[in-house]
Chain A
């Protein structure tokens, strides 16, 4: 029996029992649609979080002092003085895998302008900081190397600070703000970035030359930290190694000595989150996969009923010359047809549902091409696997008994 005949017979048998065929298919449709939707939501959340991380700077590497013990007491990172200006200068000139590096020295306090004031953090950084954290200037300009060299009292402010200090919508450029009685002239405004995925306001900040913060506010010569940006996410690791090497050399650490600094990268964080999201996707996918399995059992059940119901038909077909293999192929084709048609409808429905979760509920979703291929493959396997036993039963019938079956 050739394929087109098999196909014709299977189609005919299904159209004879449309409702039953559809209900059987429904199991597969729901299974496939939920697998695709769940995987799409899982993948979508993962991509969404990765996107947010890269907004913060996916290549970002943070260097903090650390590991310092004074008389058996481990000190908090910001109190330690192990990172010096010379470290910054060496890293900046020697590390090949970074594109930007900036010292960080922070001071928190009230910022005052006229009758308004707001609590905020002054970040003492270099101009590279904008690239590292993916900030950009909306209006005015960033402070220059000249400003850093002269510890100029200038600053660039975020949108939240502007909103709090200039409620009437005046132009803040050129205004003089006071922080701990020290005047800072506003020379630039940052483009708003909104809240990040951890719920932090990324616009509540003021950037000033790190030298200004060091000398005029904190009166320190060391750095509280360094922030760098690797050439690419894939270079994070190499950059971190290089940084560690240079710092150890600068700090004259002997082999076996503990690092007196810590280096962390966004890439690590991103990898952790990715693996969590992959786990979530797997979980969602396997729950959906169970419904596909149940759908497959539905096919098996219906095929068994169908074989019993059509015993006489099987007997007749055998008596007019159908071999066992013909009967097997016939019922198997039917099962596969059900599962593949169900799979196709399920893929379309799953695509629609993923689109709906995105456009109606704002849930991130992304259909991976492999998830479609996977569910289709699982579908055909389901059809073959669950169709096989009923089809075997049909093929093994004795024509003499089958033809007289009541």
Chain B
């Protein structure tokens, strides 16, 4: 049985007008993504992957083509509707974590639920704690963002992305600011979430990441040049174990 379709792109194009010129950031990109897939979107800078990420994240709308997120057409949506859609369906993880300064882990994770009036203060807190436990930070609930390491901060960010039970987690160079060991720890976590059935899109220019995902999409000059399934998904846990031990 085929998995439920989460994302469908149909001939998606995005043009920017810069001065006199029209820049074609995306040209006729089409693909569909099922529930539970772990996809890496790769490409060098200028390949259009940031634009694609913005579009997938409902921050931007395509110039042409259709984008369905969880069955909903995003193209014609207004700003506010997209904001609500982001709040309910998408979890963002950024390269630079983007945690609020001087704010505790649990408060950071609660943040998306603040914009969802369905959650009471206590329900919000409960959900945030669950989310932090899920990323292995159950003992760091009340640490402030400046008291944590980069890896811990990115875990908090992932917990924040999980807290609204999103249809898809969008990670933008989520390991870009981390050292190799910490990067692998984050990948272990993402693989674990993948096993639990989460849909993850990981945008990166680092080809190594693609070994750990189930599917790889490659962009070049705004065009989709390859879309392959990964037959041999590497275990990030094993890779982490294989890394040379740090010696102090």
Contact = CB atoms under 8 A, between A and B. Distances in A.
Given A12-B103, A313-B100, A326-B115, A320 B86 contact: yes
Contacts of A322: 83, 87, 115
B117 A316 contact: no
A16 B80 CA distance: 29
A321 interface: yes
Contacts, number: 63
B54 A320 contact: no
Contacts of A9: 114
B160 A403 contact: no
Contacts of B111: 316-317, 320
Contacts of B107: 12
Contact of A319 (B92, B102, B114, B164): B92
B228 to A, nearest CB: 29
A319 B57 contact: yes
B59 A319 contact: yes
Q: Which of B79, B84, B88, B114 has the largest count of A CB atoms less than 10 A from its CB?
A: B114
A320 B87 contact: yes
Interface in A308-333: 312-313, 315-326
Interface residues of B, number: 28
A402 to B, nearest CB: 10
B98 A321 contact: no
Contacts of A326: 83, 115
B161 to A, nearest CB: 8
Nearest to A6: B114
Contacts of A321: 83-84, 86-88, 112, 115-116, 164
A323 B92 contact: no
A84 B60 CA distance: 98
A16 B102 contact: yes
Give 9 closest A-B pairs by Cβ, nearest first. Answer: A321-B87, A320-B112, A321-B115, A316-B98, A323-B83, A323-B80, A321-B86, A16-B102, A400-B59
Interface of B: 54, 57, 59-60, 79-80, 83-84, 86-88, 92, 94, 98, 100-103, 107, 111-112, 114-117, 121, 160, 164
Given A319-B86, A320-B115, 8 more contacts: A4-B121, A12-B107, A16-B102, A313-B100, A320-B111, A321-B87, A322-B115, A323-B80
26 contacts: A1-B114, A1-B115, A16-B101, A16-B102, A312-B98, A313-B98, A313-B100, A315-B98, A316-B98, A316-B100, A316-B111, A317-B115, A318-B59, A318-B83, A320-B86, A320-B111, A320-B112, A320-B115, A320-B160, A321-B83, A321-B84, A321-B86, A322-B83, A322-B115, A399-B59, A400-B60
